[in-house]
Chains A and B, each alone.
Chain A
Amino acid sequence: MIPAAFDYTAPSTVDEAVRALADAGEEAKVIAGGQSLIPVLRMRLAAPTTLVDIGRIPELRGIRDEGDALLIGATTTHYEVQRDPSVREHALLLKAATDTVADPQVRHRGTFGGAVAHADPAGDLLAPVLALDAELVLHGLEGPRTVAAADFFVDYFTTALRQDEILVGVRVPKHTGWGAHYEKFSRVAQAWSIVAVAAAVRVEGGVIAEARVGLTNMSSVPVRARAVESALVGQPATAEAIRAAAAHAAEGTSPTADGNADTAYRQHLARVLTSRAITAATGV
């Protein structure tokens, strides 16, 4: 199918982009890689009057080392994230999750910021961003501001972004030396996650010193499995301890039911996959 008609502008700076968004009003939309948006436009599930393409703003692309954090530019592609040595070293969980996003063609074109701002609860980058306590760097007419990941995801496909704001980057605190794993569960390789679990673990002398666990598609927004994290800390990195901690994974969740999974099954999967994710992350 063919999208409904729209105006298109491709600014070359963030300020221009923000102004273009503000000028275009309510019905404007930002496009980066377009890998989620263009199918939606083709199906005519959305019909924005203007697309503001941020793909030609050089400063938004690339990964910068800020000392204690990595700043991942919004239009950095999944492919670039997968292959970036600093991501591998300091934010292995992001690489692990990005490896599972869609397929190679989509990873060439799709962007890290786009996937985060799209805020699909079944999307694979939200839970890792939340688990790693990332900060989202936004820029609007009034200038930049940062929002914690926990505050950024508001609801299905809804974020803290205001109409005039774009996501310019994601600041991810370094988790150097942490083990990480993204355990994705879907019916076929191409399908969206029924449930997935993002786990990062720091083990010291055979004991779990710190743990970060995020859940994909267990709510309208990504969920942090805090009960699991606290149950893990101080425990020996053994299969038994991990399984016991993972039993808390679904606490406080009330995931939706659909044809692929009812609520009870999703909660069960969360526990099983959490155990597997942490086990893989710790290398047990």
Chain B
Amino acid sequence: MTATAEPEVGKARLRKEDARLVTGRTRWTDNLTVPGLLHLAFLRSPVAHARITSIDVEAARRKPGVVAVFTGADIADAQGSLPCAWPVTADQKAPQAPSLAVDQVNFAGEAVAVVVARGKAQAHDALEAIDVDYDELPVVLDLTAAVADDSPLVHPDLGTNSSAHWVFDSAEAGTGGDVEQAIAEAEVLVERTYRQQRLIPAFMEPRSVLVDPTGEQTTVWSATQIPHILRLMLALTTGTPEHKLRVIAPDVGGGFGGKLQVTPEEVVALVVATRLGKPVKWTESRSESLLSAHHGRDQVQKLTLAARRDGTVTGLKVELLADMGAYLRLVSPGVPILGAFMFNAIYKFPAYRFACTNVFTTKTPTDAYRGAGRPEATYAIERLMDELAAELGRDPIELREQNWIKHDEFPFTTVCGLEYDTGNYEAATARAKEMFGYDELRAEQRERRERGDSVQLGIGTSTFTEMCGLAPSRVLGSLSYGAGGWEHAAIRMLPSGKVEVVTGSSAHGQGHETAWSQIVADQLGVPFEDVEVLHGDTQSSPRGLDTYGSRSLTVGAMAVLKAGEKVIRKARRIAAHMMECAEDDLEFAAGKFTVKGTERATALTDVALAVFAAHDLPDGVEPSLDSEATFDPENFSFPHGTHLCAVDVDTETGFVKIRKYVCVDDVGVVVNPIIVEGQVHGGLAQGLAQALYEEAVHDESGTLTTGTLADYLIPSAVDLPHFDTDRTETPATSNQLGVKGVGEAGTIASTPAVVNAVVDAVRHFGVNDIQMPCTPMRVWTAINGGPTDAGGLGSEAGGGLGSIDTSGGAA
């Protein structure tokens, strides 16, 4: 067994995960089956807000293959209330959240009954035989109207549509000045209201859950990001003893926050399987997913930026309305609060105030979606910086530089009290400008503007940072989050020299198996191929807080390293015993303990074998090298970057085409550059899609009109540009690898870069905002002096569902 010579960390290792994924040997939850499996289908409310006056399921019970039908009333005792783990204020108002509605539905798509049948098709057939009478209530759709005194209430028993009001004020916190004073004294004020449209995470693998209650432990397979949290929450919600539950997240096909949830369907599947004593499975259709899986974003942002005429920013005031939808799901209330500390971004604001009202509406609940709060914040500030530059006639990058934290000012404590450990905005920006050809494109823009070209060039900038690596447990505690932010890992040294790494980070596409193997190969000096990473099963990886918030590497991999250190510590004592020397005489490198100044050495793997035999161990030493560790970070990490976007806007049609996209990200030390690059690409795709394509639209009755992939427009390869990416590197000081996290960076940074570019292209027509997504009609309307939000809420979606609805003819 020889150690790898070249360090694994930093190497562009191809992924271990791919072998099964490119050949179809996958274990998606929906692929799994067990003997006697029954299938679930959910009846969902077609109306957004109504009292359920009656449900008749008798006819459905008699349909072929049907084993049982349950309504909310049937399982009211067992289903409990779906958990919300983040009460952001002490007086937060939270409604009961039954998995199956009992007497009232509060959004279109809410489950009202479940059919259990022998076959999938039979379960669906029986849905049509269930008869529900709804007594409709007024819908609550518009955020601003919802908080007005005369608004109808989503939950009348709460007495208000306002769930919570959360405030951070730098003057009160002692971290900065008084923003009202800054505004009063401002030489320049930029006041804007931005709309963060509602998005749908739209992971490619539809959610699926299989519950088998026939063993000693009830096993729950679920397409989830959070097997560990799910186990605990299912136990608490349904009263199932935690030790009687095993949760497995097998291959999981994407999440992006959308599978960071304890879903009604998971709860119902557990309750129903337990009640029947039989295994059940539910797999959603795409339309079910778009309708009922949680949505993301959806804020109205009222913003006031104060500055001096020389361009120095002096204050920022943020007033948010954040749409919770009909219920508070797992971390819904905390999502906008995650943005609270990011509006000030990379800039040296002396005064800052953030106030957010979380609002109930009769829509699908919202919760985490890639970036969760931080894209919203970054969008707001990066749009404002461009607006300030336009107001002052300054170059937007130069204006940013005037205000950002310089590389020699780190560590820097922000107006929110966060300590940014490292960064170099100048370096990333210089590299991005060079790759982009910034000056040349500006020259071309001037030329085309003067010429009156019908296709106008626009250039958008976004210099972002984010707080990720969620999170120091004490900080989460101070924000009233219901859990910690640690992560757990274990390392098992097998007698043959192979290594099993157990991680609480549950991957669903991020490549943990590969990256963790690289890290452990370096640390223990074993070949990359000899490391197996186990995750996503509460039996094999019993502790963990799972994967979200760009936390896996910054927190999860640190736990792995800590466990590895313990392995080495244990092995050192035994190695010293084996080589009859003092522990202090040994040095460990490249997988070997070497007696200093000699050639005498013992490999770690030899120690593992000796431990297995246990024939000759030092007194009092247990015969195991296996070790576990739990890591709690001291601080967040703060990746940053500069993104530059050039768009061609066809002023005759309003169509936006991205011509060039350059981003230079600093995510700290990189374990695997190709995985990092892939994360950036994917993040960019989702951020661009928010800027240009995606929006969940409800009509006046609260019906989701973007309920299929024909209407909810996820861009294809044709619609997205080639990305030019590069990195700069300032190692994080908050963890021993120096890593910062990359999962959310692209999404957070790219949206404002694109919208800034679109607005820049048409600013000379008098346009200073276009609501997202910047659809052709919105852009064209804005150019022609109309509103910036053309075709918004209440419009019927065109094409799509309407276009496949048919009543005649061959197809």
Q: Do chains A and B touch in the complex (CB under 8 A)?
A: yes
Complex Cα–Cα for A274 and B803 (A): 23
**Are the CB atoms of B713 and A119 closer together than 8 Å?**
no
Scoring B120, B710, B808 by chain A CB atoms within 10 A of each residue's CB, the highest score goes to B808
B179 beta carbon closer than 8 Å to chain A: no
B705 beta carbon closer than 8 Å to chain A: yes
Instruction: Determine how close the nearest CB of chain A comes to the CB of B657; give it in whole angstroms.
Output: 12
1/0 contact trace for B18-57 toward A, CB 8 Å?
0000000000000000000000000000000000000000
**Are the CB atoms of B810 and A114 closer together than 8 Å?**
yes
Residues of A within 8 A of B285 (CB): 1, 42
Query: Interface stretch among A190-198, A221-229, A233-241?
Result: A190-198
A32 beta carbon closer than 8 Å to chain B: yes
Residues of A within 8 A of B775 (CB): 187, 260
Complex Cα–Cα for A268 and B655 (A): 13
**Are the CB atoms of A189 and B810 closer together than 8 Å?**
no
Residues of B within 8 A of A119 (CB): 808-809
**Are the CB atoms of B799 and A192 closer together than 8 Å?**
yes
A142 beta carbon closer than 8 Å to chain B: no
**Are the CB atoms of A192 and B811 closer together than 8 Å?**
no
Complex Cα–Cα for A146 and B808 (A): 19
**Are the CB atoms of B655 and A261 closer together than 8 Å?**
no
CB neighbors of A among B753-811 (8 A)? 775-777, 780-781, 790-792, 795-811
Query: Interface stretch among B144-152, B589-597, B715-723?
Result: B715-723
> Out of B121, B798, B805, which one reaches A2, CB within 8 Å?
B121
**Are the CB atoms of B798 and A258 closer together than 8 Å?**
yes
Dominant SS among interface residues on chain A: loop
Dominant SS among interface residues on chain B: loop
Complex Cα–Cα for A34 and B804 (A): 11
Instruction: Determine how close the nearest CB of chain A comes to the CB of B634; give it in whole angstroms.
Output: 44
1/0 contact trace for A29-52 toward B, CB 8 Å?
111111111111011111000000
Query: Interface stretch among A8-16, A79-87, A156-164?
Result: A156-164
**Are the CB atoms of B810 and A117 closer together than 8 Å?**
yes
B287 beta carbon closer than 8 Å to chain A: yes
**Are the CB atoms of A158 and B121 closer together than 8 Å?**
no
**Are the CB atoms of A40 and B806 closer together than 8 Å?**
yes
**Are the CB atoms of A43 and B716 closer together than 8 Å?**
no
**Are the CB atoms of A122 and B799 closer together than 8 Å?**
yes
**Are the CB atoms of A191 and B655 closer together than 8 Å?**
no
CB neighbors of A among B86-136 (8 A)? 120-121, 124-125, 128
Residues of A within 8 A of B652 (CB): 272
B693 beta carbon closer than 8 Å to chain A: yes
Residues of A within 8 A of B776 (CB): 185, 187, 194, 260
CB neighbors of B among A149-193 (8 A)? 157-159, 161, 166-167, 185-193
The number of residues on chain A lying at the interface, defined by a beta carbon within 8 Å of a beta carbon of chain B, is: 60
Instruction: Determine how close the nearest CB of chain B comes to the CB of A21; give it in whole angstroms.
Output: 10
Complex Cα–Cα for A37 and B809 (A): 9
Residue of A nearest to B285 (CB): A1
Complex Cα–Cα for A33 and B809 (A): 13
B399 beta carbon closer than 8 Å to chain A: no
Residues of A within 8 A of B804 (CB): 36, 39-40, 43, 45, 120
1/0 contact trace for A259-278 toward B, CB 8 Å?
11110010011001100000
**Are the CB atoms of A268 and B797 closer together than 8 Å?**
no
Residue of B nearest to A166 (CB): B810
A257 beta carbon closer than 8 Å to chain B: yes
**Are the CB atoms of B777 and A37 closer together than 8 Å?**
no
Whether A189 touches B716, Cβ cut-off 8 Å, given contacts A2-B120, A258-B796, A258-B797, is yes
Residues of B within 8 A of A185 (CB): 653, 655, 776
Whether A259 touches B811, Cβ cut-off 8 Å, given contacts A1-B285, A1-B287, is no
Residue of A nearest to B792 (CB): A259
**Are the CB atoms of A157 and B808 closer together than 8 Å?**
yes
Complex Cα–Cα for A190 and B693 (A): 12
Whether A5 touches B125, Cβ cut-off 8 Å, given contacts A190-B716, A259-B705, A265-B781, is yes
Residue of B nearest to A269 (CB): B653
Whether A193 touches B287, Cβ cut-off 8 Å, given contacts A114-B811, A118-B806, A260-B791, is no
A74 beta carbon closer than 8 Å to chain B: yes
Scoring B128, B285, B715, B811 by chain A CB atoms within 10 A of each residue's CB, the highest score goes to B811
**Are the CB atoms of B809 and A117 closer together than 8 Å?**
yes
Whether A259 touches B797, Cβ cut-off 8 Å, given contacts A1-B287, A190-B716, is yes
Residues of B within 8 A of A2 (CB): 120-121, 124
**Are the CB atoms of B810 and A31 closer together than 8 Å?**
yes
Residues of B within 8 A of A186 (CB): 799
Whether A122 touches B803, Cβ cut-off 8 Å, given contacts A187-B713, A272-B653, is yes
**Are the CB atoms of A157 and B807 closer together than 8 Å?**
yes
Complex Cα–Cα for A272 and B287 (A): 35
> Out of A45, A54, A194, which one reaches B806, CB within 8 Å?
A45
Whether A261 touches B798, Cβ cut-off 8 Å, given contacts A1-B287, A188-B713, A272-B652, is yes
Whether A262 touches B791, Cβ cut-off 8 Å, given contacts A119-B808, A157-B805, is yes
B697 beta carbon closer than 8 Å to chain A: yes
> Out of B120, B719, B780, which one reaches A188, CB within 8 Å?
B719
Residues of B within 8 A of A128 (CB): none
Instruction: Determine how close the nearest CB of chain A comes to the CB of B752; give it in whole angstroms.
Output: 20
Complex Cα–Cα for A187 and B694 (A): 10
**Are the CB atoms of B809 and A45 closer together than 8 Å?**
no
A73 beta carbon closer than 8 Å to chain B: no
CB neighbors of A among B698-717 (8 A)? 705, 708, 710, 713-716
Told that A33-B811, A36-B806, A158-B808 touch, could you supply 10 new A-B pairs with CB distance under 8 A? A43-B804, A120-B803, A120-B806, A185-B776, A191-B710, A192-B800, A258-B802, A259-B798, A261-B791, A268-B780
Q: List 17 A-B contacts (CB under 8 A).
A: A2-B121, A37-B810, A37-B811, A44-B128, A46-B806, A46-B807, A122-B798, A122-B803, A157-B807, A167-B809, A186-B799, A190-B713, A191-B799, A258-B795, A258-B798, A258-B802, A259-B797
3 closest cross-chain pairs (CB), A and B: A192-B799, A37-B811, A258-B798
